[in-house]
Each structure stands twice: as structure tokens, then as C-alpha cells.
Amino acid sequence: MRDALKSTIDEGELSSIIRIVFDFLKIDLLRTEVAEQEVAFIKEVIQRLSKHEPLQYILGEAWFYGLKFLVNQHVLIPRPETEELVDLMLKQLPVNNKLHLLDIGTGSGCIPISLAKNAPLWSLHGIDISTNALQVAQHNAELHKVNIRFSQVDILSEVQLPLPIFDVIVSNPPYILLNEKKEMSPTVWSYEPTPALFVTNNDPLQFYKAILHFASSHLTSNGLLFFETHVTYANEVAAYMMQHGYTNVQVVKDMQGNNRMVHGQKPARDN
């Protein structure tokens, strides 16, 4: 496996891939013999990896915040930066209080499910435009035995959305500009769902603006809003929130030192 992939994958990543695949197959790395069906599966993994397909899609699973999630090409592969967003929320919010939270663009459901496992008193709702993504999210909720309501909603729609008022809204919306696609690995743009990744070059804050508009009628007074953002536009998102009267707005860096998260509190009355 190492020899077949060493020309396309760097050594550090390759060692990690081999360990993950062998763990998935429950093969001891010191075992000298491998069953025929295991060899066939490893060959398939090599063939698909050589075409830049993400390992998580090949195995059909990804780990996020200590939990295993089912994933396929209808949902983004959960990222470490989003784990940091979940961690920030669990530190900022009262986990022993009853809160009503909404995740916009839920994808695999990794955000609300991780929150539900760590704050069982919270009531969680996830929305997404993709019915296929919502099916994956529902499967993951059932896998982890948490009760989360999922709904198909287009947050960019001008139609009044039939949703209640929430105490907290969180979103990791599309924020990568289309003109950045050429700088990205084909592992990402060839396989992961384009609508969940990219936003038009002329309006990088499109989804943040739509969510703030939605929050004007669906986030309670003094409610909290949490975003994951593009490193380039975190300060612009924060400024836009402040323009709409949000207070205690903070830009939070990720573990790499990049501006990655923004959160703030809705004013007691809309401007």
C-alpha cells in the first residue's frame, strides 16, 4: 500500500492513512497474513485514493469531537476547525440549562449531534437545503441515539421560513470563494459537495447576511449567534454583526492562529 501511493501522498499522511485503514479492517499491523477479502478492499482503497478521493468517503465514516459519523459525497467531511466551534459553544453556553438551538447548513449533523451528546438538556434543530444531506444527518442522529429535528430549508429563500424562535443559532456556511478553487486540493473540490463549500466571488458574506436577516425574526432578544468563517472575512462578519446592533462580538482564532470563529449577542430590540 505504501509503495503504491508514495508518489501521490506524502509520507506523514500516508502513514496515517495506512493506520486508519488497518484499524477500519481490524488488522494488526504486525500480522503477517491478510485475508483475501481484506487484500481486495485494500486494493480498492489504493485505486480510489490514487484518484484523490477522500479516505473518509471511501470508508464511509469520519471522526468528529470523539464521535464517529457516517459520511458520503452529499455532506462535507467534518473539519477540526468545526470541532473548535463546537468546543467554543460548550464553553460559552450553560450546558445544564435548557436551550433551543438551531444549526444552519447542518450537513452530516456533526454540530448538533456533538452538542446533544455533551449537553443533553438542549433542544436541537438542524436545517439544510439538501435532502440527501438531511438523510445522512438523520442516520447519524439515530446512530448516536439523540433526538434532533431536521428540516429542509433554503436559508437564502425570501419565503418566510416556518421555524420557531431559538436561543442560539450556529452556522458553518459556505465561505470559500469560487476563485480560490484552483488553489485547493482536488481531493476537496472533486468530491465534496460544491454548494456546501463555495460562495460567489462578488458576495463572500452572502450566507452571513442571510442568516443575520433570518435571526432578526428567529433569534430571541439577547440570543447568541456563532459562526465559522473564512480567515480573510472574519473581521468583516464581525463588523456586519455590529452594524446590526450585536454586542459582545468577538473574533476567535483557531489552533493554527487564524481568525476562524465569530460570535455575538443579539440586541434586546432589532434596529
As a whole number of angstroms, the distance between CA 96 and CA 119 comes to 7
Interval 234-262 mean pLDDT: 97
What pLDDT was estimated at residue 15?
76
What burial class does residue 118 get, using C-beta atoms within 10 Å of its C-beta: 0-12 exposed, 13-18 middle, 19+ buried?
middle
52 has pLDDT over 70: yes
| Per-residue model confidence as pLDDT tens digits over 141-153 | 999 999 999 999 9
265 has pLDDT over 70: yes
10 has pLDDT over 90: no
Interval 6-32 mean pLDDT: 73
What pLDDT was estimated at residue 85?
98
138 has pLDDT over 60: yes
55 has pLDDT over 50: yes
Considering all CA atoms of the chain, what is the largest pairwise distance in Å, rounded to the nearest integer? 69
What pLDDT was estimated at residue 50?
86
The secondary structure of the chain, three-state, reads CHHHHCCCCCHHHHHHHHHHHHHHCCCCCCCCCCCHHHHHHHHHHHHHHCCCCCHHHHHCEEEECCEEEECCCCCCCCCHHHHHHHHHHHHHCCCCCCCEEEEECCCCCHHHHHHHHHCCCCEEEEEECCHHHHHHHHHHHHHCCCCEEEEECCCCCCCCCCCCCEEEEEECCCCEEHHHHHHCCHHHHCCCCHHHHEECCCCCCHHHHHHHHHHHHHEEEEEEEEEECCCCCHHHHHHHHHHCCCEEEEEEECCCCCEEEEEEECCCCCC
What pLDDT was estimated at residue 11?
63
Average pLDDT, the chain: 91
Higher per-residue confidence, 23 vs 245: 245
What pLDDT was estimated at residue 258?
96
As a whole number of angstroms, the distance between CA 130 and CA 91 comes to 30
| Per-residue model confidence as pLDDT tens digits over 65-81 | 999 999 999 999 999 99
What pLDDT was estimated at residue 249?
98
| Per-residue model confidence as pLDDT tens digits over 198-214 | 998 889 999 999 999 99
What pLDDT was estimated at residue 160?
66
As a whole number of angstroms, the distance between CA 236 and CA 252 comes to 13
pTM of the model: 0.91
Domains in the chain, please, with CATH?
2-51 (no CATH), 73-265 (3.40.50.150)
Q: What cell does 193 get? A: 459537495
What pLDDT was estimated at residue 4?
55
256 has pLDDT over 60: yes
What pLDDT was estimated at residue 17?
82
Task: Give me the residue label for grid cell 428567529.
Answer: 218
Q: Label residue 271 by pLDDT band (50, 70, 90).
A: very low
Higher per-residue confidence, 271 vs 11: 11
